[in-house]
Amino acid sequence: MQNDNKPVIGITCGDVNGIGLELIIKTVADTRLLDICTPVIFANNKVLNFYRKSIPDVNFNFTSTKDAGRINHKQINLFNCWEEEVAITPGQLNDIGGKYAVISLVTAAQALKEGKIDGLVTAPIHKKNTQSAEFNFTGHTPYFKKLFGANDVIMFMVAENMRVALLTEHVPVKDAASLITKESILSKLTLLNNSLKKDFNIDKPKIAVLGLNPHAGDESLIGKEEAEIIKPAIKEAKQKDIFCFGPYSSDAFFARGYHERFDAVLAMYHDQGLIPFKSLAIGEGVNFTAGISGVRTSPDHGVAFDIAGKNKADEASFRQAIYTCVDIINARKEFAEQRANPLRKISKRMIANAVDEAIIEDPE
């Protein structure tokens, strides 16, 4: 779908009563975005116009289509996912918000799977009103895992100064420990290592692994998972040429800034990774689904019903999610080219080294 190396990026609307559509309008209204990608919004004319009226200072235009294979690369595109009237009630958690969030997501995700778009940025949904017999998922990540038939995936949070991957995701804390196995750690480390190489162009990724218990178990005095599960998994991963270290006590690890010494951190459970990420990340955080053939990103926040429809939403994380999506698409393309022509990568390194030497030798 790329046109002159400009990828086509699908955008879901999220909960129509949340801040998703406001974020989208504010983000794509900056026409400079068209220089790096072609946005395709999966929603409906009327809901888009509803929120456009609530942002009077934004100049926003789009062209409508019902065929994801036929889009205008010089404009913002709207793919109409439904025709019926929708009662929009900003800030309200109801079935309508969940129904159309799922319609947008399923339509856009299928377009991603079929290659009609090159990447997908998903606006926030609410887990409660999206549940049904047809859509029984705790979030975007398990949905994309099933859609793409992946054996495993990673909820991967990325920012300028840190990347945090989760071993377990949206599960109760009381259940998290039972899901931590040697096999699951090895699977995540393998995926994480591959993603850092393919999606972020890091030749030899360095990965930190956190412990589960306080003080990483204190030599098995406060839990045995570190000694019996995590350490053996790290040892085996090293034997598979995965450059990983740990387990580290999570409090000291982040407090001392060790996360900046590694290319990524593997956390054992949701809050262990997300609290420090949202507290310490520089720039705007992005949620990336690693392990599927498609590229999917999202902002690192929720539906924010409390400010929906009030023109108060900050689009910075959503904008960064689009940038990250484009960057990963381009990184994968470069990775594929380097595998096809290894000499290309060597020559780039030689040029870089020559430039470094010239800089060192130049007295000016």
Where do the structural domains in the chain lie, given as residue ranges? 1-150+294-304+320-364, 152-291
Superfamily of domain 1-150+294-304+320-364: Isopropylmalate Dehydrogenase (3.40.718.10)
Distances (CA, A) of 62 to 71, 77, 82: 11, 5, 17
Name the nearest CA neighbour of 44 among 79, 7, 96, 5.
79
pLDDT of 348: 47
Q: How far apart are CA 137 and CA 131, in angstroms?
A: 7
Residue type, 258: Y
pLDDT of 126: 94
pLDDT of 210: 97
Assigned token pair, 39: 């946005």
Tell me how far apart the terminal alpha carbons of the chain are, to the nearest angstrom. Answer: 46
**Residues paired with 3 in a beta bridge:** 6
pLDDT of 364: 28
1-150+294-304+320-364 against 152-291: fold identical: yes
pLDDT of 356: 37
CATH number 3.40.50.970 is the correct assignment for the domain at 152-291: no
pLDDT of 363: 28
pLDDT of 354: 43
Sequence length of the chain is: 364
Mind spelling out the 3-state secondary structure of the chain? CCECCECEEEEECCCCCCCHHHHHHHHHCCHHHHHCCEEEEEECHHHHHHHHHCCCCCCCCCEEECCCCCCCCCCCEEEECCCCCCCCCCCCCCHHHHHHHHHHHHHHHHHHHCCCCCEEECCCCCCCCCCCCCCCCCCHHHHHHHHCCCCCCEEEEECCCCEEEECCCCCCHHHHHHHCCHHHHHHHHHHHHHHHHHHHCCCCCCEEEECCCHHHHCCCCCCCHHHHHHHHHHHHHHHCCCCEEEEECHHHHHHCCHHHHCCEEEECCHHHHHHHHHHHCCCCCEEEEECCCCCEEEECCCCCHHHCCCCCCCCHHHHHHHHHHHHHHHHHHHHHHHHHCHHHHHHHHHHHHHHHHHHHHCCC
10-residue mean pLDDT profile of the chain (364 residues): values are 79 96 95 94 94 87 84 92 94 95 96 96 94 89 95 95 94 90 97 97 96 81 86 96 95 93 96 94 92 96 94 94 97 88 54 38 30
Q: How far apart are CA 294 and CA 111, in angstroms?
A: 10
Write down the pTM of the prediction.
0.89
